[in-house]
Amino acid sequence: MINIVLLDPYPVVQKGFKTFFENLDKINLLESVCSVEALFDTLKNRTVDVVITEMELQDVSPVRLIRSLKDAYPKLKVIIFTTLPKSIYELSLLKAGATGFISKKVAPEVMIEAIEKAAENDFHITTNFANEITRNIDVHKPRNAYGTLSSREIEVLKYLIDGKRNIEIAELLKINQKTVNTYKRRVMKKLDVKNLVNLYKQVADIIPVH
């Protein structure tokens, strides 16, 4: 039996999960929670194999959440469950320790497959980013410019190509603007670009930017 917990702030999603998983033999939905605090309370008291979490959370970035989960529970698998297919962000989440990415539009059997793969220490990515990782962005090859970026640098890059200003990125990541500017300079140096226009063009040439 695979024990899972859902973290999602929307009651309708939680209700849908409960209805779908209540009659499955191999997967057991232990809890549906709406906050990070409630998630960690559940993990303290229950044996959980896979956490399925929404990407957009009010109190914490998904990268920080994944890091915290993996630090506290190294064997725990984390699947991102979202409506936002942000390609650059997905690389950051992979490097932080995510096991899979699931669109909220997928068929039920795809969800089951993803959970089973995660429990077996395999990856599951349902967006077209899977092919882009295979062809262009091997996170294990330091020769690849993107492979040299840290998780935080990729996180900053994602916000930059989304048009966020330094002050907005600082607020989202809960760091100061000087730190954001430092990450920004590192990203531009590693990717060998001189300005944001060239940065955006380079990213758009390699990865479809949504």
Return the CATH number at 56. 3.40.50.2300
Q: Which of 88, 112, 133 is the last residue of a domain?
A: 133
Q: Which of 133, 162, 179 is the last residue of a domain?
A: 133
Q: Check whether residue 62 and residue 41 sit in a common domain.
A: yes
Q: Check whether residue 85 and residue 149 sit in a common domain.
A: no
Q: Check whether residue 149 and residue 120 sit in a common domain.
A: no
Distance separating alpha carbons of residues 18 and 190, to the nearest angstrom: 45
The whole-number pLDDT of residue 52 equals 95
Q: Which of 72, 99, 133 is the last residue of a domain?
A: 133
Q: Check whether residue 155 and residue 122 sit in a common domain.
A: no
Distance separating alpha carbons of residues 179 and 14, to the nearest angstrom: 37
Q: Check whether residue 169 and residue 114 sit in a common domain.
A: no
Total domains in the fold of the chain = 2
CATH code of the domain in which 191 resides: 1.10.10.10
* Contacts for 8 with CB less than 8 Å, ≥ 6 apart: 14, 17, 32, 34, 52, 53, 54, 81
Domain with 88, as residue range(s), is: 2-133
**Residues composing the chain:** 210
The whole-number pLDDT of residue 208 equals 44
Which residues sit opposite 51 in a β-bridge?
5, 78
Q: 53-95 pLDDT, tens per residue?
A: 998 887 788 888 998 999 999 999 999 988 775 555 666 777 7
Q: 87-117 pLDDT, tens per residue?
A: 556 667 777 788 888 888 888 888 898 899 8
Q: Check whether residue 80 and residue 153 sit in a common domain.
A: no
Q: Check whether residue 125 and residue 151 sit in a common domain.
A: no
- Residue 39 binned pLDDT confidence (cut-offs 50, 70, 90): very high
Query: Which token pair is 156?
Result: 């900053």
Q: Check whether residue 94 and residue 154 sit in a common domain.
A: no
Does the reported pTM lie above 0.85? Answer: no
Q: Check whether residue 168 and residue 74 sit in a common domain.
A: no
Q: Check whether residue 19 and residue 103 sit in a common domain.
A: yes
The whole-number pLDDT of residue 28 equals 95
